[in-house]
Amino acid sequence: MAAKDGSKMSAAAIAAEKVDGFTRKSVRKAQQRQRRSLSSSQGSSQFRTHGAVPVDLSLSPLPQLMPECVNQQELFTQKLQQCCVLFDFFDSVTDLKSKEVKRATLNELVDYVSTNRGVLVEAAYPDITNMIITNIFRTLPPSDNPDFDPEEDEPTLEASWPHMQLVYEFLLRFLENPDFQPSIAKRYIDQRFVLQLLELFDTEDPRERDFLKTILHRIYGKFLGLRAFIRKQINNIFLRFIYESEHFNGVAELLEILGSIINGFALPLKAEHKQFLMKVLLPLHTAKALVLFHAQLAYCIVQFLEKDPTLTEPVIRGLLKFWPKTCSQKEVMFLGEMEEILDVIEPTQFKKIQEPLFKQISKCVTNPHFQVAERALYLWNNEYILSLIEENIDKILPLMFGSLYRISKEHWNPTIVALVYNVLKTLMEMNGSLFDDLTASYKNDRQRCGTPSRLNNPYPHTLSS
Amino acid sequence: MAGADGDDSLYPIAVLIDELRNEDVQLRLNSIKKLSTIALALGVERTRTELLPFLTDTIYDEDEVLLALAEQLGNFTMLVGGPEYVHCLLPPLESLATVEETVVRDKAVESLRKISQEHSPVDLEVHFEPLVKRLASGDWFTSRTSACGLFSVCYPRVSSTVKAEIRQHFRTLCSDDTPMVRRAAASKLGEFAKVLELDYVKSDIISLFTALASDEQDSVRLLAVEACVSIATLLPQEDLETLVMPTLRQAAEDKSWRVRYMVADKFSELQKAVGPEITKNDLVPAFQNLLKDCEAEVRAAAANKVKEFCENLPEDNREQIIMTHILPCVKELVSDTNQHVKSALASVIMGLSTILGKDNTIEHLLPLFLAQLKDECPEVRLNIISNLDCVNEVIGIRQLSQSLLPAIVELAEDAKWRVRLAIIEYMPLLAGQLGVEFFDEKLNTLCMAWLIDHVYAIREAATCNLMKLVEKFGADWAQNTIVPKVLGMANDPNYLHRMTTLFCINALSDVCGRDITTKQMLPVVLKMSEDQVANVRFNVAKSLQKIGPVLEKITLQNQVKPVLDKLATDKDMDVKYFAHEALSGECLPVSVNLPCCCKWALFQTAN
């Protein structure tokens, strides 16, 4: 199917080139993708080094593991050692037999640790962790596509996944085995182990990130001594992402883990956690690729505010500071997050930030991009927010009135105009006399300034009016 | 607030404060950019006692404003009263150096580095160095990263006790537990080493270098490679082997491709820094490994350095090293699976011919060039073509054309226009060396075919190419071979081709001279003024303006003007516009003749 699409695309590309010599980005990308798929859409950094002395990689199958029999422990160790042999998956023809032996052995090992009790004896731990480390810890390969756009492009998949998946599966079952003893395992699953695990979150392969997420979550749960370290390292990854590289594929997954970690924070919150909120989570909003992890990020923020409502004011002020200036897509996300925050806000906190907040919302309402205006106006559909507005109508109505009134006359999009009428109606019902006063003074102002509607019209190109 | 006591001289600061509080970022930004004017108005004393404290205490703003402020303060020395008072600038810059946003922080550090030079040695110890210490022991990583950039500017000018403290601080930061700080320290390691006494370089810097080069994070290790260049330059040759080489060897074989990439990328610098002996014994095998690395990124970076590396090899056995060690790897890279590797190689491989001389080039390199010229990837072909001249110098054009001409002809019809463009640009050089006869026989048809290419850039380059050819071969040649063909295109059914005739005439009139222009080209241009397509007609107007200077006044008056007059009343707006442009433009070349000029001007107003 991909090949068929590809050939169609390249015909289109050639035609396009005939006309103007330039090809559109989408066509070029499709071509690149096609070119890559011809060779391989997979990447890996596990290959046999060229020119090295050829090592005999052939594996021969060992007898089946049977928990009831004697000497099983020795066989288990042998199998673990057998699985430490790495294969080159770029070369799809070599070592086929041995690859199959390793796959079957890994499968057997997964079964062995997940269905049997009493197999995790202390002596097995070093071999188990060694097998895991050898197979999964590696420097991730350079990205095939230097301007990889996670929203548009297909990720490069890990070529050795047929084995690697089973190793991850094994690691997970190992951690989840009822006999698993963190006190023994902590000698092997240490800071260094965690650090390497965290670096793997940058992989482009979503399947691998998914495994990593579950595994890191288990490790965080079982190894109390590693918790602070894990948090600190995630911190460092995020700070590097924000201020240095702007590139890390696993931000969403790490945030997802943090969401549940934050959930478990004891009260009162430690200064360290508050600092994480203010100096790491809030600046994460400035990332270009916010769309990829915004849901998880907003969840973390709301978790914090539910724990400690006094953080609401600094958080909202922080968001207002980082409010997008030109990116409408991000602005819509910010408005969505703001609604989530307002959903859990305490009325006393609301009073503290209503002024700067509604100044911003008032700007959003007049945004010529209808999705931004629409998202802002949807806030009035929220019962709780509506009740907060009603409570503070004297403060909020003057902030909103000018924008709403103007937009009701001038916005190009009829849906927005209809929404604005509804909002104006709601606000009028909340405080009719204030509404009338504002209407009168607004009209006065307009008359005094001549005909500002033409001069200040933000949409000079609208056809109606 | 400041103007409340009615003192007029405080007005500027009142305005500043007002604008600094304005809701509009642009206004705040403007007022920060005018900061020096305001400081000037206030005078040095009040700048010190009022403006700076205000800036230090009250500024919490958008990063854009802070960036402008950080930059301004770097140039404030005279405004606070000269070097004697320069330390007044430290408090605001100190807080800017702790800001989260990297660009602001970097700018603050840059300004601090700048004003550090204006401190007297005493002030440096009393004011500047304590600031560096505060930053170096700050809680949040931002201040510690900023500190890394400040050690080297104060170290040379302080007493030995303070020097010892500075070294201690730098050492601490090199083992900071935040990787961001270690990265900052690693990136300043080379710079810091340069200002240290040699003994301390050996005792302190080397151990830091070794530690950073084996950091758990590859992002730190790769920065140590950069530092390696400066450190190796500082050390005497006999110490390099023991102090630097173990680390460098380890970096060249690092398990992270990013570190190996860095080694490949800095290879020429490293080579110069360690000298010829170590290059022969260590770097040659290391370079071979990098050229054969399993990651394409590393191979491409190494391939990029092939020429420089070979150039800088010790001359006594350069040829032998290249032929036995480097060339075999290069041969493999020519058929690499990755196009970036091949294209990196193609951009430098031609440079080898100067180093290896004629015979080796013909025997060993030419086959490689030919293979790359026929590569499936256009980038590779392009890189080869754009560097043909270095081979030309070595083996001469005859040899080159014999072996490469078929490939060049093939590329002249390449599907990628950038490749065709590169070939065109190379054509005048080739023509000049091949001579008229050879050119007419082999290449002339190609040059004419480009004139009707479907890509504008090619047609444009082709016209320019014709001009350069005429410059080489002379007007007679033009009259016989080029002009008839160009003028023939004036009757082409495709208006783009008809326009190409005009563009060619624009380019050729000057080099062909008055005679050909007046007798052969002008009639064609004038006739084209009746073209159906408006684009052609306004290009006629433009052409007439262009070739005007070549023509005689009488021709202008009798032949050109009537046509332009007519075009000036064309129904198409653009044609009218360019006709008027031409009419007013034509005045210039004939402006010596005043009456004529007046007539033209009159005509203009009458219309």
pLDDT in tens, A276-332: 999 999 999 999 889 999 999 999 999 999 999 999 999 999 999 899 988 999 999
Say whether residue B255 is in contact with chain A using an 8 A CB cutoff: yes
Which two structure tokens, joined as six digits, stand for B166?
Answer: 């500075």
d(CA B531, CA A356): 65
Q: Is the dihedral of CA A62, A64, A65, A71 positive or negative?
A: negative
Say whether residue B59 is in contact with chain A using an 8 A CB cutoff: no
Residue B42 to chain A, least CA–CA distance (Å): 32
Please give the pLDDT value at position B411. Answer: 78
List pLDDT tens digits, range A261-292: 999 898 899 999 999 999 999 999 999 889 99
Residues 6+ apart with CB under 8 A from A407: A365, A366, A373, A416, A417, A420
Please give the pLDDT value at position B430. Answer: 73
Cβ pair B102:A51 closer than 8 A:
no
Q: What residues of chain B lie within 8 A of the CB of A49, using their CB? A: 294
Cβ pair B140:A21 closer than 8 A:
no
Please give the pLDDT value at position B586. Answer: 57
| A130 CB neighbour count, 10 Å cutoff | 15
Q: Where are the alpha helices (DSSP H) in B237-365?
A: 237-243, 245-252, 257-265, 267-278, 284-291, 296-304, 306-311, 318-321, 327-334, 339-349, 352-360
Which two structure tokens, joined as six digits, stand for B17?
Answer: 């404060």
Q: What residues of chain B lie within 8 A of the CB of A324, using their CB? A: none
Local confidence band at B64 (pLDDT 50, 70, 90 cut-offs): confident
Cβ pair A279:B140 closer than 8 A:
yes
d(CA A444, CA B364): 88
Cβ pair A283:B337 closer than 8 A:
no
Say whether residue B64 is in contact with chain A using an 8 A CB cutoff: no
Cβ pair B100:A243 closer than 8 A:
yes
Average pLDDT score over residue span B484-506: 88
d(CA B583, CA B255): 72
Cβ pair A39:B337 closer than 8 A:
yes
Cβ pair B337:A279 closer than 8 A:
no
For residue A151, pLDDT over 70 is answered with yes
Q: What residues of chain A lie within 8 A of the CB of B183, using their CB? A: 244
Residues 6+ apart with CB under 8 A from B39: B47, B51, B76, B79, B80
Residues 6+ apart with CB under 8 A from B208: B170, B171, B174, B185, B189
Q: What residues of chain B lie within 8 A of the CB of A240, using their CB? A: 179-180, 219
| A344 CB neighbour count, 10 Å cutoff | 14
How many contacts does A have with B, using Cβ atoms within 8 A?
50
% chain A with pLDDT above 70: 82
Average pLDDT score over residue span A335-363: 93
Closest Cα to residue B442, out of B393, B389, B387, B397? B397
Minimal Cα distance from B101: which residue of A? A243
| Residues found in chain B | 607
CA separation (Å) from A450 to A409, A411, A436, A454? 17, 21, 21, 10
Block residue for tokens 């050729």: B508
More confident residue, B54 or A44: B54
Window 96-155 of B: residues touching A by CB (8 A cutoff) are 100-102, 140-141
Residue A16 to chain B, least CA–CA distance (Å): 12
Local confidence band at B125 (pLDDT 50, 70, 90 cut-offs): confident
More confident residue, A91 or A177: A177
Cβ pair A240:B296 closer than 8 A:
no
For residue B605, pLDDT over 70 is answered with no
% chain B with pLDDT above 90: 19
Average pLDDT score over residue span B448-468: 88
CB-nearest to B295 from A21, A39, A141 is A141
- Mean pLDDT, all residues of chain A: 82
Closest Cα to residue A229, out of A267, A264, A256, A189? A189
Closest Cα to residue A171, out of A123, A208, A206, A140? A208
Please give the pLDDT value at position B319. Answer: 85
Cis amide prior to A268 (ω within 30 degrees): yes
Please give the pLDDT value at position B82. Answer: 83
Cβ pair B180:A240 closer than 8 A:
yes
CA separation (Å) from B388 to B339, B395, B413? 20, 11, 18
Average pLDDT score over residue span A192-200: 94
Q: How many helices (H) and strands (E) does chain B have?
A: 43, 0
Which residues share a beta bridge with B522? none
Residues 6+ apart with CB under 8 A from A69: none
List pLDDT tens digits, range A390-446: 999 988 988 888 888 888 888 888 888 899 998 989 888 888 888 888 888 888 887
Average pLDDT score over residue span B112-131: 89
Q: What is the DSSP string of A184-213?
A: HHTTTS-HHHHHHHHHHTT-S-HHHHHHHH
Cβ pair B294:A139 closer than 8 A:
no
Please give the pLDDT value at position B262. Answer: 93
d(CA A351, CA A348): 5
List pLDDT tens digits, range B498-539: 988 999 988 888 888 888 888 888 888 888 888 888 889 989
| A392 CB neighbour count, 10 Å cutoff | 16
- Mean pLDDT, all residues of chain B: 84
More confident residue, A68 or B408: B408
Residue of B294, B340, B418 to mutate for A, most A C-beta atoms under 10 A: B294
Q: Report if pTM > 0.80.
A: no
Minimal Cα distance from A43: which residue of B? B295
Please give the pLDDT value at position B186. Answer: 94
For residue A109, pLDDT over 50 is answered with yes
Residue B540 to chain A, least CA–CA distance (Å): 24
What dihedral do alpha carbons B262, B263, B265, B267 form, nearest 10°? Answer: 160
Local confidence band at B601 (pLDDT 50, 70, 90 cut-offs): very low
CB-nearest to A50 from B101, B294, B455 is B294
Backbone angles phi, psi at B370, to 5 degrees: -60, -40
d(CA A203, CA A165): 14
For residue B385, pLDDT over 80 is answered with no
ipTM for the whole predicted complex goes beyond 0.90 = no
Please give the pLDDT value at position B13. Answer: 65
- Burial class (CB within 10 angstroms; exposed 0-12, middle 13-18, buried 19+) of B510: middle
Minimal Cα distance from A20: which residue of B? B455
Q: What residues of chain B lie within 8 A of the CB of A141, using their CB? A: 257, 295
Rg of chain A over CA atoms, in angstroms?
29
Which two structure tokens, joined as six digits, stand for A167?
Answer: 């190793």
CB-nearest to A236 from B62, B180, B218 is B180
CB-nearest to A142 from B297, B454, B456 is B297
Please give the pLDDT value at position B7. Answer: 54
Which of A460-464, B244-248, B440-444, B544-548 has the highest mean predicted lDDT (pLDDT)? Answer: B244-248
Please give the pLDDT value at position A286. Answer: 92
- Burial class (CB within 10 angstroms; exposed 0-12, middle 13-18, buried 19+) of B580: middle
Q: What residues of chain A lie within 8 A of the CB of B255, using their CB? A: 139
A233-237, A295-299, B18-22: least confident range: B18-22
DSSP class of B215: -
Average pLDDT score over residue span B45-54: 83
For residue B589, pLDDT over 50 is answered with no
Minimal Cα distance from B179: which residue of A? A236
Give the DSSP H/E element, type plus range, for residue A53: none
Average pLDDT score over residue span B369-381: 81
Cβ pair B179:A283 closer than 8 A:
no
Give the DSSP H/E element, type plus range, for residue B584: helix B573-586
Cβ pair B216:A45 closer than 8 A:
no
Say whether residue B257 is in contact with chain A using an 8 A CB cutoff: yes
Average pLDDT score over residue span B533-558: 86
| A272 CB neighbour count, 10 Å cutoff | 11
% chain A with pLDDT above 90: 45
List pLDDT tens digits, range A7-63: 444 444 444 333 343 444 444 444 444 444 334 466 766 654 444 444 556 667 777
Please give the pLDDT value at position B108. Answer: 93
A278-292, B268-282, B397-411, B563-577: least confident range: B397-411
Q: Where are the alpha helices (DSSP H) in A277-382?
A: 282-284, 294-307, 312-321, 328-344, 347-365, 370-377
**CB of B574 within 8 A of CB of B538?**
yes
Cβ pair A18:B454 closer than 8 A:
yes
Cβ pair A243:B180 closer than 8 A:
yes
Please give the pLDDT value at position A65. Answer: 67
List pLDDT tens digits, range B302-358: 999 999 998 888 888 888 888 888 888 988 888 888 888 998 998 888 888 888 888
For residue B603, pLDDT over 50 is answered with no
Residue A117 to chain B, least CA–CA distance (Å): 37
Assign 3-state DSSP to chain B and report helix, strand, coil percentages, each to 5. Answer: 80, 0, 20
Cβ pair B257:A142 closer than 8 A:
yes
Residues 6+ apart with CB under 8 A from B266: B225, B226, B228, B229
Please give the pLDDT value at position A273. Answer: 94
Average pLDDT score over residue span B371-395: 77
For residue A321, how many C-alpha atoms fall within 13 Å in the half-sphere facing its CB? 17
Please give the pLDDT value at position B9. Answer: 59
Q: What residues of chain B lie within 8 A of the CB of A243, using their CB? A: 100-102, 180
Please give the pLDDT value at position B10. Answer: 62
Say whether residue B457 is in contact with chain A using an 8 A CB cutoff: yes
**CB of B68 within 8 A of CB of B33?**
yes
Backbone angles phi, psi at A43, to 5 degrees: -130, 160
